[in-house]
Amino acid sequence: TLATMKRITKKEIVYSHMGQLVIKDRICYSTFLQNTGSDGEDHHSVTSGVVLAIFSLDRIMSDDFDVDKDIEFYPVGKKGDTCAGYNSISIFKDNSMCLVGNKMYVCFSFTAEDGKSHIFRKTFDICKKEWVEEVAVELEYKGKKYSFTDETLNIVYTDKGLEPRAKGLIELVSAWSEYKGEYYATGIAIERPNNGFIVKTTDFKTMTLVDAVPFNDMGTAEIGSYIYKGMLFVACRQFYGIPYMY
């Protein structure tokens, strides 16, 4: 792989994280957090932002691939930006993406002025090459719709007899897996150890809770999931410093 390695961030970018990639018709779509500054993914960084990068598979496989000429960048957002009527007081983070037809659904979270961490979704039309919609995501639980926030996760945890320790940005970064027309993913809040969750959706606007992850009491950061032969497999990273996964 070393011989084919290509950098897809510009030379002024010194930090990048949480990359996802989708390829359709030999066009690559990638979302990731990037930072020109020295504070990485610090939640109060003013130089960190999430972007959507679009580039040709043929061009990136060529020897003369040029980041400046061959990649189009479309900002998703950064601290101080507004989305769906909410003002961000933290960075945009924890992006996930799913391409359905010609619509790329990009989900992410930030802390709003109400002090809660919310999940949002922006829609990118890959034919028009423009953002066409943005919404604050709702979580449906037991037939009732809530704003998808860390506060709502604690309602779920409490109801299920789990410790209500959800706090901070919601890390919804697993790839989306399709099953019978619905898309499944896993996530967690990242400031305290907590159980995490599994959701499903058809429109990436309303997500239905499938379950909390009962065995993941000390979970944090990335949770990965994948559907194989009708079964959802989940891989859970543990709280910082715990050197194993479930």
What confidence category does residue 2 fall into, taking pLDDT thresholds of 50, 70 and 90?
confident
Q: Which parts of 7-165 fold into alpha helices (H)?
A: 57-60, 67-70, 150-159
How far is the C-alpha of 213 from the C-alpha of 234, rounded, in Å?
Answer: 9
Residue % of the chain over a pLDDT of 90: 98
pLDDT in tens, 83-142: 999 999 999 999 999 999 999 999 999 999 999 999 999 999 999 999 999 999 999 999
| pLDDT exceeds 80 at position 1 | no
| Model pTM score | 0.96
User: Which pLDDT does position 3 carry in this prediction?
Assistant: 82
Whether the Cβ atoms of residue 191 and residue 172 lie closer than 8 Å to each other? no
Question: What tokens does 27 get?
Answer: 């066009």
Q: Which pair of structure tokens corresponds to residue 14?
A: 């010194």
Neighbours of 14 (CB within 10 A): 13
Over the stretch 63-91, which tens digit does the pLDDT of each residue have? Answer: 999 999 999 999 999 999 999 999 999 99
Q: Tokens for 137, please give them.
A: 């995501």
- pLDDT at residue 79, rounded to an integer: 98
**Euclidean distance between CA atoms 207 and 169, whole angstroms:** 17
Which phi and psi angles does 97 have, rounded to 5°? -140, 150
